[in-house]
A and B are shown apart, each in its own frame.
Chain A
Amino acid sequence: MQYAYLLILITLLSAIGYYLGRQRSSRLVKQEIRRLHSLPGHYGMYVALWCSVPAVIILGLWITLQSSAIESLVISALPPEIQSLPQEQLSLVLNDIINIAGGIIVSDAPDEFLLAAAGHYNQLKGTGFLALAALLMTVCAGGLAMGMRYIRPDMRARIKVERTMQALMLLCSAVAIVTTIGIVLSVLFESIRFFNQIPVTDFLFGLKWSPQIAIRPDQVGASGSFGIVPLLAGTLMISLIAMLVAVPTGLMSAVYMSEYASDKIRTVVKPLLEILAGIPTVVYGFFAALTVAPFIREMGGRFGIDVSSESALAAGLVMGIMIIPFISSLSDDVINAVPQELRDASLSIGATRSETVVRVVLPAALPGIVGSILLGVSRAVGETMIVVMAAGLTAKLTANPFEAVTTFTVQIVTLLIGDQEFDSPKTLAAFALGLVLFVITLCLNVIALYVVRRYREEYE
Chain B
Amino acid sequence: MVRSRDDIVRTIGKPLLADDERVKISCRNVNVYYGEKRAIREVSVDIAEQEVTAFIGPSGCGKSTFLRCINRMNDTIKSCRVEGEITLDREDIYDRNVDPVLLRARIGMVFQKPNPFPKSIFENVAYGPRIHGLARNKSELDEIVITSLEKAGLFSEVKDQLDHPGTGLSGGQQQRLCIARAISVQPEVILMDEPCSALDPIATAKIEELIDELRRNFTIIIVTHSMQQAARVSQRTAFFHLGNLVEVDDTNTIFVNPEHKLTQDYITGRYG
B191 nearest CB neighbor, chain A only: A348
CB-CB contacts below 8 Å: B172-201 with A: 178, 181-182, 184-185
Q: Give the distance to chain B from A263, nearest Cβ to Cβ, in Å.
A: 8
Q: What are some 12 contacts across the A-B interface (CB < 8 A)?
A: A341-B113, A344-B73, A345-B115, A345-B178, A346-B127, A347-B76, A349-B128, A349-B185, A350-B128, A350-B131, A458-B165, A460-B118
Interface size on B (CB < 8 Å)? Answer: 30
CB-CB contacts below 8 Å: A64-114 with B: none
B271 interface residue (CB < 8 Å to A) = no
Q: Quick check: A344 and B111 within 8 Å, CB to CB?
A: yes
Q: Quick check: A364 and B115 within 8 Å, CB to CB?
A: no
In the assembled complex, the Cα of A351 lies from the Cα of B128 at a distance in Å of: 7
A420 interface residue (CB < 8 Å to B) = no
Q: Quick check: B78 and A349 within 8 Å, CB to CB?
A: no
A280 interface residue (CB < 8 Å to B) = no
In the assembled complex, the Cα of A458 lies from the Cα of B163 at a distance in Å of: 11
Q: Give the distance to chain A from B261, nearest Cβ to Cβ, in Å.
A: 36
Q: Quick check: B115 and A339 within 8 Å, CB to CB?
A: yes
Binds A, one of B21-29, B97-105, B216-224, B251-259: B97-105
* A-B pairs, 7 with minimum CB distance: A350-B105, A459-B118, A341-B115, A348-B109, A349-B128, A350-B104, A345-B115
Interface residues of A (CB under 8 A from B): 262-263, 339, 341-352, 355, 359-360, 363-364, 458-460
B167 interface residue (CB < 8 Å to A) = yes
CB-CB contacts below 8 Å: B66-125 with A: 71, 73, 76, 78, 101-106, 108-109, 111, 113, 115-119
Q: Quick check: A460 and B167 within 8 Å, CB to CB?
A: yes
In the assembled complex, the Cα of A331 lies from the Cα of B132 at a distance in Å of: 29
Q: Give the distance to chain A from B9, nearest Cβ to Cβ, in Å.
A: 32
In the complex, which residues of chain A have a beta carbon less than 8 angstroms from the beta carbon of B106?
Answer: 350
In the assembled complex, the Cα of A318 lies from the Cα of B78 at a distance in Å of: 37
In the assembled complex, the Cα of A262 lies from the Cα of B78 at a distance in Å of: 9
In the assembled complex, the Cα of A348 lies from the Cα of B108 at a distance in Å of: 6
In the assembled complex, the Cα of A16 lies from the Cα of B113 at a distance in Å of: 57
In the assembled complex, the Cα of A355 lies from the Cα of B111 at a distance in Å of: 20
In the complex, which residues of chain A have a beta carbon less than 8 angstroms from the beta carbon of B73?
Answer: 344, 347-348
Given contact pairs A351-B131, A458-B165, A346 touches B117 in the complex (Cβ within 8 A): yes
Q: Quick check: B108 and A342 within 8 Å, CB to CB?
A: no
* Residue among A339, A349, A351, A359 having the largest count of chain B Cβ atoms under 10 Å: A349
Cβ 8 A contact of A349, one of B116, B118, B131, B165 = B131
In the assembled complex, the Cα of A295 lies from the Cα of B61 at a distance in Å of: 63
In the assembled complex, the Cα of A262 lies from the Cα of B77 at a distance in Å of: 11
* Residue among A347, A348, A359, A364 having the largest count of chain B Cβ atoms under 10 Å: A348
Q: Give the distance to chain A from B254, nearest Cβ to Cβ, in Å.
A: 28
Q: Give the distance to chain A from B178, nearest Cβ to Cβ, in Å.
A: 7
B110 nearest CB neighbor, chain A only: A348
Q: Quick check: B118 and A364 within 8 Å, CB to CB?
A: yes
* Residue among B71, B113, B117 having the largest count of chain A Cβ atoms under 10 Å: B117
Q: Quick check: B131 and A355 within 8 Å, CB to CB?
A: yes
In the complex, which residues of chain B have a beta carbon less than 8 angstroms from the beta carbon of A363?
Answer: 118-119
Given contact pairs A360-B117, A363-B119, A459-B118, A348 touches B104 in the complex (Cβ within 8 A): yes
In the complex, which residues of chain B have a beta carbon less than 8 angstroms from the beta carbon of A345?
Answer: 111, 115-117, 178, 181
In the assembled complex, the Cα of A349 lies from the Cα of B128 at a distance in Å of: 6
In the assembled complex, the Cα of A247 lies from the Cα of B106 at a distance in Å of: 37
Given contact pairs A349-B181, A351-B131, A355-B131, A344 touches B104 in the complex (Cβ within 8 A): no
Q: Quick check: A350 and B127 within 8 Å, CB to CB?
A: no
In the complex, which residues of chain A have a beta carbon less than 8 angstroms from the beta carbon of B108?
Answer: 348-349
In the complex, which residues of chain B have a beta carbon less than 8 angstroms from the beta carbon of A364?
Answer: 117-118
In the assembled complex, the Cα of A360 lies from the Cα of B115 at a distance in Å of: 12
Q: Quick check: A350 and B101 within 8 Å, CB to CB?
A: yes
In the assembled complex, the Cα of A349 lies from the Cα of B167 at a distance in Å of: 18
Q: Give the distance to chain B from A81, nearest Cβ to Cβ, in Å.
A: 84
Q: Quick check: A347 and B115 within 8 Å, CB to CB?
A: no
